[in-house]
Each structure stands twice: as C-alpha cells, then as structure tokens.
Amino acid sequence: MTLQYNTILVAIDGSKEAELAFKKSVAIASRNNAALHLVSIIDISFGSLEAYAREYARETKKSTEELLQRYKQEATEAGISNVNIIIELGSPKTMIPGEIATRIDADLIICGATGLNAAERIFLGSVSDRIVRAAKCDVLVVRNQDTISE
C-alpha cells in the first residue's frame, strides 16, 4: 500500500470551492511530485433544448479554457511539472468519477463541496456527493469555511 499520490484530478467549475480545491491540489501534487489534471465538464443536460445547449457549450468552453490555462500557469509556477487540462461536454456527476478518472488512472480526486448550480444540487444532489459515492479512488472534498453554518 502506497501513501503517495501519483495522479491527481481536480474538478473545476468556476466556483469559490473549486478554486480552493485547486489550491489544495497544487500543494498535494507538489508534496507528492504528482501529475495534476485540471478537469472541467461542461454540463449540457438541457433535455430538448439542444440548440441552446450547443450555444451555451461554445460560450462556456472559451471562459473555461481561459480559467484552466490560468490555473495551469499558477500550478507550473508553483513547481508542478506535469499539469494537464481536460475540458469535455457531458455530465460531471458521471464523467469525473468514471470515464475521466479511469482514463487518467487517478488515485485522488479533489473537488469543492458545492458548485455553481444550486438548483440542480437541491433537486438531484451535488456533484461532490456523486463523486464520493462513485469514485474508485480517494476523494478529498474541500469546503469553503465562510459558507459552513454553525
């Protein structure tokens, strides 16, 4: 049993919690000399609104690429030599703990406790909940201390 992480997947959605997850992922990757994969899944589950979903995806992809490039530069400047960006369309709840984690052979997934989509979280459960339940590797859920109620 190894106590070192080699491949870290950090889920990025633009939320404050995802930013905190990114910052923790850089520290952990640095301590472990691990590869860091910055992953953002653009959720296009709009049902019958396919044309709207495609336009939303195009607009969102550009801002997502800019954010992840900024994070990649920050991680590289912190000494992480192997930083990769993955941006895909689909369901983050299934793709992150399943397809993406398997493809990169992740041994740690880091995500924020809550993301940007509050309505979906209320009705369907959060992405972090699903990642914790479905992942086949360790998961670190990062909380924003400002949003925790006593």
Alpha-carbon distance of 127 to 63, in angstroms, equals: 21
What pLDDT shows up at residue 98?
Answer: 96
What pLDDT shows up at residue 149?
Answer: 42
What pLDDT shows up at residue 73?
Answer: 98
Query: Mind listing the pLDDT tens digit for each residue in 84-142?
Result: 999 998 889 999 999 999 999 999 999 998 755 555 444 445 888 999 999 999 999 99
Q: What percent of the chain has pLDDT over 70?
A: 81
Give every CB contact of residue 114 below 8 A, 6+ residues apart in sequence.
15, 17, 121, 126, 128, 144, 147
pTM here is 0.86
Give every CB contact of residue 106 below 8 A, 6+ residues apart in sequence.
7, 8, 9, 37, 100, 137
* Average model confidence (pLDDT) across the chain: 86
What pLDDT shows up at residue 60?
Answer: 85
What pLDDT shows up at residue 46?
Answer: 57
Helix (H, G, I), strand (E, B) or coil at 88: strand
Alpha-carbon distance of 34 to 99, in angstroms, equals: 20
What pLDDT shows up at residue 42?
Answer: 87
Neighbours of 110 (CB within 10 A): 28
What pLDDT shows up at residue 126?
Answer: 80
On the CB side of 82, how many CA atoms lie within 13 Å of its CA?
Answer: 11
Contact present, 48 and 76 (Cβ < 8 Å): no
